[in-house]
Amino acid sequence: MTDRLKDKVAVITGAASGIGAGAARLFHAEGAMVVLADMQEGPGAAIARDLGARARFIRTDVTSEADIAAAVDLAVSAFGGLDIMVNNAGIVGAVGSIRETAREDWDRTLAVLLTGAFMGIKHAARVMVPRRRGSILSVASTAGVMGGLGPHAYTAAKHGVVGLTKSASSELAQHGVRVNAVAPGNTVTAMTAFVVTGDAADHEATRARIAAGSPLGIAGTPEDPAYGLLYLASDEARYVTGHTLLVDAGQTTGGTIPAFHNGPASVIGAPAVG
Protein backbone atom coordinates (compact mmCIF):
# COMPACT_ATOMS: atom_id res chain seq x y z
CA MET A 1 0.00 0.00 0.00
CA THR A 2 0.97 3.66 -0.31
CA ASP A 3 0.20 5.19 3.11
CA ARG A 4 -2.39 7.54 1.62
CA LEU A 5 -4.01 7.85 5.07
CA LYS A 6 -0.87 7.62 7.18
CA ASP A 7 -1.51 8.73 10.79
CA LYS A 8 -5.11 9.74 10.08
CA VAL A 9 -7.92 8.63 12.39
CA ALA A 10 -11.19 7.31 10.96
CA VAL A 11 -14.56 6.30 12.39
CA ILE A 12 -16.57 3.97 10.14
CA THR A 13 -20.15 3.02 10.99
CA GLY A 14 -21.47 -0.31 9.80
CA ALA A 15 -17.88 -1.52 9.71
CA ALA A 16 -18.51 -5.14 10.71
CA SER A 17 -19.52 -6.29 7.23
CA GLY A 18 -19.92 -5.33 3.60
CA ILE A 19 -18.72 -1.95 2.36
CA GLY A 20 -17.91 -0.77 5.88
CA ALA A 21 -15.62 -3.73 6.55
CA GLY A 22 -13.98 -3.26 3.16
CA ALA A 23 -13.34 0.41 3.95
CA ALA A 24 -12.01 -0.38 7.43
CA ARG A 25 -9.48 -2.88 6.10
CA LEU A 26 -8.44 -0.61 3.21
CA PHE A 27 -8.10 2.51 5.36
CA HIS A 28 -6.05 0.55 7.89
CA ALA A 29 -3.81 -0.83 5.15
CA GLU A 30 -3.26 2.74 3.96
CA GLY A 31 -1.98 3.80 7.37
CA ALA A 32 -5.10 4.96 9.23
CA MET A 33 -6.16 4.23 12.77
CA VAL A 34 -9.72 2.95 12.64
CA VAL A 35 -12.70 2.88 14.97
CA LEU A 36 -15.20 0.27 13.79
CA ALA A 37 -18.69 1.24 14.93
CA ASP A 38 -21.41 -1.38 14.46
CA MET A 39 -24.22 -3.24 16.22
CA GLN A 40 -22.70 -6.60 15.20
CA GLU A 41 -20.41 -7.09 18.16
CA GLY A 42 -18.89 -10.47 17.23
CA PRO A 43 -17.85 -9.69 13.64
CA GLY A 44 -16.87 -6.09 14.44
CA ALA A 45 -14.66 -7.04 17.37
CA ALA A 46 -13.09 -9.84 15.31
CA ILE A 47 -12.08 -7.43 12.54
CA ALA A 48 -10.64 -5.01 15.10
CA ARG A 49 -8.58 -7.82 16.68
CA ASP A 50 -7.38 -8.87 13.25
CA LEU A 51 -6.27 -5.32 12.42
CA GLY A 52 -4.41 -4.96 15.71
CA ALA A 53 -3.27 -1.99 17.76
CA ARG A 54 -4.44 0.65 15.29
CA ALA A 55 -8.08 -0.46 15.49
CA ARG A 56 -10.88 -0.35 18.04
CA PHE A 57 -14.44 -1.65 18.02
CA ILE A 58 -17.41 0.00 19.70
CA ARG A 59 -20.98 -1.20 19.65
CA THR A 60 -22.96 1.51 17.92
CA ASP A 61 -26.62 1.91 17.04
CA VAL A 62 -26.68 4.78 14.55
CA THR A 63 -30.22 5.69 15.57
CA SER A 64 -28.78 6.64 18.98
CA GLU A 65 -27.06 10.02 19.11
CA ALA A 66 -25.28 8.99 22.30
CA ASP A 67 -23.80 5.96 20.54
CA ILE A 68 -22.51 8.03 17.61
CA ALA A 69 -21.06 10.62 19.97
CA ALA A 70 -19.33 7.82 21.89
CA ALA A 71 -17.74 6.42 18.72
CA VAL A 72 -16.34 9.84 17.85
CA ASP A 73 -15.14 10.34 21.43
CA LEU A 74 -13.40 6.94 21.34
CA ALA A 75 -11.43 8.04 18.27
CA VAL A 76 -10.28 11.12 20.15
CA SER A 77 -9.41 9.31 23.39
CA ALA A 78 -7.73 6.29 21.75
CA PHE A 79 -5.96 7.94 18.84
CA GLY A 80 -5.85 11.66 19.56
CA GLY A 81 -8.37 13.07 17.12
CA LEU A 82 -10.66 12.49 14.16
CA ASP A 83 -9.72 13.09 10.54
CA ILE A 84 -12.27 10.95 8.68
CA MET A 85 -15.88 10.06 9.41
CA VAL A 86 -17.65 7.47 7.25
CA ASN A 87 -21.42 7.23 7.68
CA ASN A 88 -22.01 3.82 6.16
CA ALA A 89 -24.38 1.84 8.39
CA GLY A 90 -27.49 0.79 6.51
CA ILE A 91 -30.49 -1.45 6.12
CA VAL A 92 -32.82 -2.20 3.23
CA GLY A 93 -35.68 -1.04 5.40
CA ALA A 94 -39.34 -0.83 4.44
CA VAL A 95 -40.25 -2.61 1.21
CA GLY A 96 -43.44 -2.96 -0.78
CA SER A 97 -46.10 -0.68 -2.19
CA ILE A 98 -46.23 2.88 -0.89
CA ARG A 99 -49.96 2.26 -0.38
CA GLU A 100 -49.18 -0.37 2.22
CA THR A 101 -45.96 0.85 3.86
CA ALA A 102 -46.37 1.20 7.63
CA ARG A 103 -45.41 4.53 9.15
CA GLU A 104 -43.21 2.85 11.77
CA ASP A 105 -41.29 0.96 9.06
CA TRP A 106 -40.80 4.21 7.13
CA ASP A 107 -39.57 6.01 10.26
CA ARG A 108 -37.16 3.22 11.18
CA THR A 109 -35.65 3.23 7.67
CA LEU A 110 -35.06 6.97 7.66
CA ALA A 111 -33.72 6.86 11.22
CA VAL A 112 -30.93 4.49 10.19
CA LEU A 113 -30.13 5.75 6.70
CA LEU A 114 -30.65 9.50 6.93
CA THR A 115 -30.82 10.59 10.56
CA GLY A 116 -27.83 8.35 11.31
CA ALA A 117 -25.84 10.19 8.64
CA PHE A 118 -26.99 13.55 10.01
CA MET A 119 -25.78 12.66 13.50
CA GLY A 120 -22.49 11.34 12.15
CA ILE A 121 -21.89 14.61 10.31
CA LYS A 122 -22.90 16.61 13.40
CA HIS A 123 -20.55 14.87 15.80
CA ALA A 124 -17.66 14.65 13.35
CA ALA A 125 -17.98 18.40 12.80
CA ARG A 126 -17.92 18.91 16.57
CA VAL A 127 -14.34 17.60 16.59
CA MET A 128 -13.16 18.69 13.15
CA VAL A 129 -14.25 22.34 13.06
CA PRO A 130 -12.00 23.46 15.95
CA ARG A 131 -9.07 21.72 14.22
CA ARG A 132 -10.05 23.27 10.85
CA ARG A 133 -9.59 20.04 8.94
CA GLY A 134 -11.34 16.77 8.23
CA SER A 135 -13.20 14.67 5.70
CA ILE A 136 -16.78 13.55 6.32
CA LEU A 137 -18.12 10.86 4.02
CA SER A 138 -21.50 9.19 3.67
CA VAL A 139 -22.48 6.12 1.69
CA ALA A 140 -25.45 6.98 -0.50
CA SER A 141 -26.64 4.79 -3.38
CA THR A 142 -27.61 4.92 -7.02
CA ALA A 143 -31.12 4.90 -5.51
CA GLY A 144 -30.17 8.32 -4.16
CA VAL A 145 -29.81 9.83 -7.63
CA MET A 146 -32.52 7.97 -9.57
CA GLY A 147 -35.97 6.60 -8.89
CA GLY A 148 -36.93 2.98 -9.31
CA LEU A 149 -33.65 1.49 -8.08
CA GLY A 150 -34.72 0.77 -4.53
CA PRO A 151 -37.68 0.68 -2.14
CA HIS A 152 -39.48 3.97 -1.48
CA ALA A 153 -38.14 4.70 2.00
CA TYR A 154 -34.60 3.64 1.03
CA THR A 155 -34.75 5.85 -2.08
CA ALA A 156 -36.04 8.84 -0.14
CA ALA A 157 -33.38 8.40 2.54
CA LYS A 158 -30.52 8.08 0.07
CA HIS A 159 -31.72 11.13 -1.88
CA GLY A 160 -31.65 12.85 1.50
CA VAL A 161 -28.06 11.76 2.09
CA VAL A 162 -27.04 13.30 -1.26
CA GLY A 163 -28.84 16.54 -0.39
CA LEU A 164 -27.43 16.64 3.13
CA THR A 165 -23.94 16.14 1.73
CA LYS A 166 -24.35 19.25 -0.42
CA SER A 167 -25.95 21.26 2.36
CA ALA A 168 -23.42 20.34 5.06
CA SER A 169 -20.52 20.94 2.69
CA SER A 170 -21.74 24.49 2.09
CA GLU A 171 -21.49 25.24 5.81
CA LEU A 172 -18.37 23.33 6.75
CA ALA A 173 -16.12 24.33 3.85
CA GLN A 174 -15.34 27.63 5.57
CA HIS A 175 -13.98 25.61 8.48
CA GLY A 176 -11.67 23.49 6.34
CA VAL A 177 -13.91 20.39 6.55
CA ARG A 178 -14.89 18.56 3.37
CA VAL A 179 -18.17 16.66 3.06
CA ASN A 180 -18.67 14.14 0.25
CA ALA A 181 -20.51 10.91 -0.52
CA VAL A 182 -20.07 7.74 -2.52
CA ALA A 183 -23.07 6.21 -4.30
CA PRO A 184 -22.47 2.51 -4.98
CA GLY A 185 -24.38 0.53 -7.53
CA ASN A 186 -25.18 -3.14 -6.99
CA THR A 187 -22.46 -4.56 -4.76
CA VAL A 188 -21.93 -8.11 -3.50
CA THR A 189 -22.70 -7.87 0.21
CA ALA A 190 -24.80 -9.90 2.62
CA MET A 191 -27.56 -7.29 2.45
CA THR A 192 -27.64 -7.36 -1.35
CA ALA A 193 -27.47 -11.16 -1.37
CA PHE A 194 -30.54 -11.32 0.84
CA VAL A 195 -32.46 -8.98 -1.48
CA VAL A 196 -31.34 -10.78 -4.66
CA THR A 197 -31.48 -14.42 -3.59
CA GLY A 198 -33.20 -14.50 -0.21
CA ASP A 199 -30.00 -15.93 1.29
CA ALA A 200 -27.55 -13.46 2.82
CA ALA A 201 -24.73 -16.00 2.48
CA ASP A 202 -25.22 -16.77 -1.23
CA HIS A 203 -22.63 -14.39 -2.62
CA GLU A 204 -21.83 -16.46 -5.70
CA ALA A 205 -25.37 -16.37 -7.09
CA THR A 206 -25.54 -12.69 -6.18
CA ARG A 207 -22.29 -12.00 -8.00
CA ALA A 208 -23.58 -13.76 -11.13
CA ARG A 209 -26.89 -11.87 -11.06
CA ILE A 210 -25.21 -8.49 -10.61
CA ALA A 211 -22.62 -9.17 -13.32
CA ALA A 212 -25.35 -10.18 -15.77
CA GLY A 213 -27.03 -6.79 -15.36
CA SER A 214 -23.87 -4.69 -15.20
CA PRO A 215 -22.95 -2.42 -18.14
CA LEU A 216 -19.32 -3.44 -17.57
CA GLY A 217 -20.23 -7.10 -17.21
CA ILE A 218 -18.75 -7.36 -13.72
CA ALA A 219 -20.16 -7.32 -10.20
CA GLY A 220 -19.17 -4.67 -7.71
CA THR A 221 -17.39 -5.81 -4.54
CA PRO A 222 -17.12 -3.90 -1.25
CA GLU A 223 -13.62 -2.84 -2.25
CA ASP A 224 -14.96 -0.83 -5.21
CA PRO A 225 -16.85 1.82 -3.21
CA ALA A 226 -14.16 1.54 -0.52
CA TYR A 227 -11.59 2.81 -3.02
CA GLY A 228 -13.91 5.71 -3.81
CA LEU A 229 -14.10 6.49 -0.10
CA LEU A 230 -10.32 6.23 0.14
CA TYR A 231 -9.86 8.85 -2.57
CA LEU A 232 -12.34 11.27 -1.01
CA ALA A 233 -10.84 10.74 2.45
CA SER A 234 -7.29 11.36 1.26
CA ASP A 235 -5.46 14.63 0.72
CA GLU A 236 -5.61 13.89 -3.00
CA ALA A 237 -9.22 15.11 -2.83
CA ARG A 238 -8.38 18.31 -0.94
CA TYR A 239 -10.20 20.38 -3.60
CA VAL A 240 -13.34 18.23 -3.62
CA THR A 241 -16.38 18.88 -1.44
CA GLY A 242 -20.13 18.60 -1.83
CA HIS A 243 -19.66 15.81 -4.35
CA THR A 244 -21.35 12.42 -4.70
CA LEU A 245 -19.10 9.95 -6.48
CA LEU A 246 -20.98 7.25 -8.40
CA VAL A 247 -19.37 3.80 -8.28
CA ASP A 248 -21.91 1.88 -10.34
CA ALA A 249 -20.36 0.46 -13.54
CA GLY A 250 -22.29 3.08 -15.50
CA GLN A 251 -25.72 1.93 -14.31
CA THR A 252 -27.03 5.47 -13.90
CA THR A 253 -25.95 6.53 -17.39
CA GLY A 254 -28.70 4.35 -18.84
CA GLY A 255 -27.14 0.94 -18.42
CA THR A 256 -27.17 -0.06 -22.08
CA ILE A 257 -25.53 1.04 -25.32
CA PRO A 258 -28.22 2.76 -27.40
CA ALA A 259 -28.48 1.93 -31.09
CA PHE A 260 -27.37 5.42 -32.06
CA HIS A 261 -23.89 4.69 -30.62
CA ASN A 262 -23.41 1.93 -33.22
CA GLY A 263 -22.98 2.01 -36.99
CA PRO A 264 -21.58 4.80 -39.19
CA ALA A 265 -21.31 8.29 -37.79
CA SER A 266 -23.89 10.75 -39.06
CA VAL A 267 -26.01 13.71 -38.04
CA ILE A 268 -29.67 12.80 -37.53
CA GLY A 269 -31.83 15.14 -39.53
CA ALA A 270 -29.01 16.48 -41.69
CA PRO A 271 -30.08 17.33 -45.24
CA ALA A 272 -29.09 14.95 -47.98
CA VAL A 273 -26.17 16.01 -50.12
CA GLY A 274 -25.91 15.35 -53.89
Task: Give the pLDDT of residue 266.
Answer: 41
Contact 142, 100 (CB under 8 A): no
Q: What is the number of alpha carbons within 13 Å of residue 22 lying toward its C-beta? A: 19
Ranges of residues in the chain with a pLDDT under 50 are: 257-261, 265-274
User: What DSSP character marks residue 189?
Assistant: S
Pick the CATH number of 9-187+222-261 from 3.40.50.720, 1.10.3720.10, 3.40.50.1370, 1.10.10.10: 3.40.50.720
**Distances in Å between the alpha carbon of 204 and those of 54, 125, 127?**
32, 40, 41
pLDDT digits (tens, 9 = 90+) for 153-186: 999 999 999 999 999 999 999 999 999 999 998 8
Residues 119/61, Cβ–Cβ less than 8 Å: no
Give pairs for 105-110: CB < 8 Å, separation 24+: 105/153, 106/153, 108/63, 109/151, 109/153, 109/154, 109/157, 110/153, 110/156, 110/157, 110/160
173: number of Cβ within 10 Å: 13
Predicted local distance difference test score (pLDDT) of residue 259: 46
Catalytic residues: 154
Determine the Cα–Cα distance for residues 3 and 14; give it in Å rounded to an integer. Answer: 23
**Amino acid found at 99:** R
**Close Cβ partners of 189 (under 8 Å, ≥ 6 residues apart):** 17, 18, 19, 222
* pLDDT at position 188: 75
Half-sphere exposure of 194 (CA within 13 A, CB side): 8
Predicted TM-score (pTM) of this structure: 0.90
